[in-house]
Structure formats: structure tokens, C-alpha cells
Structure 1
Amino acid sequence: MKMLEGFSQSFEELVKGHGKAIFNYIFSLVKHKELAEDLYQEVLLSAYLAYPSIKEKSKYKSWLFTIAINKCRDYWRKENKSKHFWREEVYSYSVTFEPAFIPEEEVLHKFSAEQMAEKINLLPEIYRNPIYLYYYQDLTLVEIARKSNLPMSTVKTRMKRAKDRLRPKMLSLA
């Protein structure tokens, strides 16, 4: 019984020492307070169950951060599967039951898509490429950075500048 009390007290000290940093780290990744709280609880549970297996006290902090990022990754994987289901399964189901476009709507939609493509083509190439890859090729910012051999910050900056340049041009389409 004494050993269990020592174990619990030792784990409690670990949480007091690093808990706030772990929570802030999770929150910075998921950007949603309630979700961060849930993931933080999962991290603590996993850490508590595996705590006796850690031999070196110097590795506790990095060990907790590793558990935190793995819990976030698990959550994102689960979310992506859910989104994939909604994108593919539900869409294919709904297409069979939704009425087709009215011809006039289809023409208007095609016309505005063509106008939008024209506006995008007016952008300088350094801004046009990330917009095209993101919106027309469905690549993520990470994939765009990798494909174009650019740092992520450069890709984000170019996307923002492209959107800033497109915004006034798009008002004429509305």
C-alpha cells in the first residue's frame, strides 16, 4: 500500500510540474478548449498507466509530450476517416436522391467558375501556384510546401497575399 501511495504522489508531482505545459501544447495543436481538455485527460490516463515503466526521471517531460502528440494524431486520424466518410459515402448516397441542377443554374455556376479561374490567372505565378494547388488539386499546405520545395511559412504567406489580391476582384463576381 505504501508503494502505491508513493507512486501516486510521484505521478501527481509530475502532473503538477508539467501538466499546464502539456495542456497548452495540446490546445495549441487542436485550437479548441473542450477538445484539448478531453485529449489532456486521455494523455494523463495513458501516462498514469505507463508511468511505472519509465526508469529515467529526466525523460518524463519529453515522454509526456510524446504521449500528447500521439493522442492528437489519433484524434486527427479518426476525424479524417469521419470526413472521408462524409465526403465519399454520404455524397454518393445524396447524389442519387438529389435533383440535378436546373440548366440555368448549371450555366451560371460554370460561368462564375470560369470567371474565377480568369481572376486567378491574373495573379503573379508565385501566388497563382499555391492557390491552384490548394483549391483545384486539393493539396494541403504541407503537401504544397513539399512539392514546391518552400518553407511552410512562405506557402502560408503566399496564400494570404493571393487571397488579399483576389478579394477585391471577387467582389465583382458576387
Structure 2
Amino acid sequence: MRDRMIDSFEEIVREHGKAIFNYIFSLVKHKELAEDLYQEVQISAYSAFHTIKEPAKIKNWLFTIAGNKCRDYWRKENKAKQFWKEEVYSYSSIVEASPLPEEEVLDKYTAEKMEETVMLLPEIYKSAIFLYYFKDLTLIEISKRNNIPISTVKTRMKRGKEHLRPKLQSLA
């Protein structure tokens, strides 16, 4: 039984392996990373292979595993970046010398320009973005303050950022 399972899994890998690898590569755009994720997909698929009830849907099942592995990688990567952004740089700022006066003026000017740009947004988006970025309220606090569901706050934040993106590129 086990030998038959291994043979059929190898056959599936031969049949769909290249397509799965190409799918992963199209998502991550890095060959070595795609190879690593492809191996993880194979391991996960082999481990759960015995649970397949509909062999006709095996290709979709493999693509789902591949997509999930990529998402897991991105989540882990974003957490690491967030750590470096929040933790490491906050420690390094303790050691750094105070910024030059020109840098302070430039930062203040940029912040003022950003605030002015946010104020030009339609009211529905302006409120959420202003409260979040300039008043440091959490999404939950904005939700309670405006008496709207948190999902609505998230949607308004996303759409507000989409409106802001082209306007703020001129500040960069």
C-alpha cells in the first residue's frame, strides 16, 4: 500500500511539478526562494496525500498548498521587517545623535504637506486616515469614535490610501 502511494505521489509530482514551481516562481520572483517553497509544498502534500478523497482535484489542491506556503512566507517576512522597523530602529535611535536642524525642518515641512494632502481627501476617507496617522488612534478606537464597524474603517483606510498614493508621490 505504501509503495503504491509513493509511486502515485511521484507520478503526480512529475505531472504537475513544473506548473506548481512556475506558479510559486511567478508569485515570489526569486528562483532560490521558489525552489525552497516548492520543496515545502512537496513535503506538505506528501504528508497529507493520504487524506485526498477526490483525485480529480489534486492539481487544485497542490496549487492551494503552494499559495498558502507563499502567504506563510510573506507573513513571516513581514513580521521580521516589522520587527526591524519597530524594535531595532527604536533602540538605535537612542544611540544616534540628534538630527541636524535642516533635517528637522525638512521633516516638519514634509509632515505638514502630508497633512494638507490628507485634508484634501473626501471626508469619508479623511477622517479615518487623519485619526490613524496624525492622532495615533487604533482602528478599534476609530471604529468606536465614528460608530462604524471596524471592517468599514479598514475599507476607508484602504481606499483613502489609494486616493493619496498618486498625490504623495510628488512629495517623495
TM-score, normalising length: structure 1: 0.65
* Greater mean deviation of Cα atoms: 112-121 or 101-110: 112-121
Q: How does 1:45-124 map to 2 (within 5 A)?
A: 45-122=43-120
2:14 match: 16
Partners of 1:18 and 1:61 within 8 A in 2: yes
Counterpart AA for 1:87: K
Give the Cα separation in 1 of the matches to 2:73 and 2:131. Answer: 26
Q: How far does the alpha carbon of each residue in 1:140-174 deviate from its partner, in whole angstroms, 9 at most, with x for none?
A: xxxxxx53686xxx949x83x75445545x4xxx8
Q: How far does the alpha carbon of each residue in 1:52-84 deviate from its partner, in whole angstroms, 9 at most, with x for none?
A: 343431232232123223322321232133123
Q: How does 1:132-171 map to 2 (within 5 A)?
A: 147=152, 155=159, 159=162, 162-167=164-169, 170=171
2:23 match: 25
Tell me the secondary structure at the aligned position of residue 100 of structure 1: coil
* Shift in Å, 1:96: 1.2
2:143 match: none
Give the Cα separation in 2 of the matches to 1:133 and 1:40. Answer: 42
Give the Cα separation in 2 of the matches to 1:31 and 1:135. Answer: 32
* Greater mean deviation of Cα atoms: 89-98 or 73-82: 73-82
Pair 1:82–1:117, CA change in 2 (3 A):
same
TM-score, normalising length: structure 2: 0.65
1:143 match: none
State the number of aligned residues.
159
Counterpart AA for 1:26: I
Fraction of identical pairs, as percent: 59
Partners of 2:117 and 2:164 within 8 A in 1: no
Give the Cα separation in 2 of the matches to 1:70 and 1:27. Answer: 14
2:145 match: none
Give the Cα separation in 1 of the matches to 2:132 and 2:28. Answer: 21
Counterpart AA for 2:104: E
Pair 1:115–1:28, CA change in 2 (3 A):
same
